[in-house]
Amino acid sequence: MASSPAPTIPVSIGQAIPTVGSPPPTAPISAPAFRLFIARLSDSVRRSLSNRRPWYELVDKSSFSRPESVSEAVVRVRKNVSYFRINYIFFLALVLAFSLLSHPFSLLVLLSLLASWCFLYLFRPSDPPLVIFGRQFSDRETLGGLVVVTVFVVFLTSVGSLLISAFMVGAGLVCAHGAFRMPEDLFLDDQEPGATGSGLLSFLGGAASSAGPAMASRV
């Protein structure tokens, strides 16, 4: 008695046939690492700015007085920085932005440097390797070149002096405001424990977690 032929399994054209011992296909990444970094950065900035103190508290004329001594001024600065830290960081960012906008060349150089780090190292896949002018560069060579260029731009050009000058001006204004602003009406005890570690710069944690896998694969 002849046996009936085994039924055939229909296979569509273009469908991959899994082999024995092959790993299961992974789902494609929904968003690139750069978009994930920008999303986390914007979310952290929004949350930090939502926790800032009301601006009218900074300019309340009835709360300003001359400190009687240097030690009192230092105590005032410490308390005001602890209370208005988000507002002060935002003010420093405005001073830095104004300085860069008044010097378009320095702004262009910094944007070019940031773009080089993002697209040549941080968010570029390690495979295939970087090729410039027909020469192949390894990840270590790329990192070394970016570090050298960054040190040259920040410390050996007018860009670095501009950044330092803007930061010093902003910090001086912040210290002057903190020294003349009486903190007696500020509810410093209402702050959450460990709040000093959270603020506008808390996006660094999210940035490190988003860019971490790409950088870890290069080590």
Q: How many other CB atoms are there within 10 angstroms of residue 157's CB atom?
A: 13
User: What does residue 175 show for φ and ψ, rounded to 5 degrees?
Assistant: -65, -40
116 in a structural domain: yes
191 in a structural domain: no
Q: Could you read off the pLDDT tens digit of each residue along the chain, which spans 219 residues? A: 455 555 555 544 444 444 444 444 333 333 456 677 677 777 777 777 777 788 888 888 888 899 989 999 999 999 999 899 889 999 999 999 999 999 999 899 999 988 888 788 777 776 677 777 777 778 888 888 889 999 998 888 888 889 999 999 999 999 999 999 988 767 655 444 444 444 444 544 555 455 555 555 555
Helices in 56-103 by DSSP H: which ranges?
70-83, 85-101
H or E segment and range at residue 215: helix 203-216
Domain that includes residue 179, residue range: 52-184
15 in a structural domain: no
Rounded distance between C-alpha atoms, residue 58 and residue 186, angstroms: 11
What is the DSSP code (8-state) at residue 73? Answer: H
Residue 13 pLDDT = 45
1 in a structural domain: no
Residue 80 pLDDT = 92
Do the Cβ atoms of 67 and 180 come closer than 8 Å? yes
Rounded distance between C-alpha atoms, residue 139 and residue 119, angstroms: 13
Rounded distance between C-alpha atoms, residue 61 and residue 56, angstroms: 10
206 in a structural domain: no
User: Looking at the 3D structure of the chain, how many domains does it have?
Assistant: 1
The single residue listed with the structure tokens 């055939």 is 8
214 in a structural domain: no
23 in a structural domain: no
36 in a structural domain: no
pTM: 0.63
CA atoms within 13 A on the CB side of 120: 20
Residue 47 pLDDT = 76
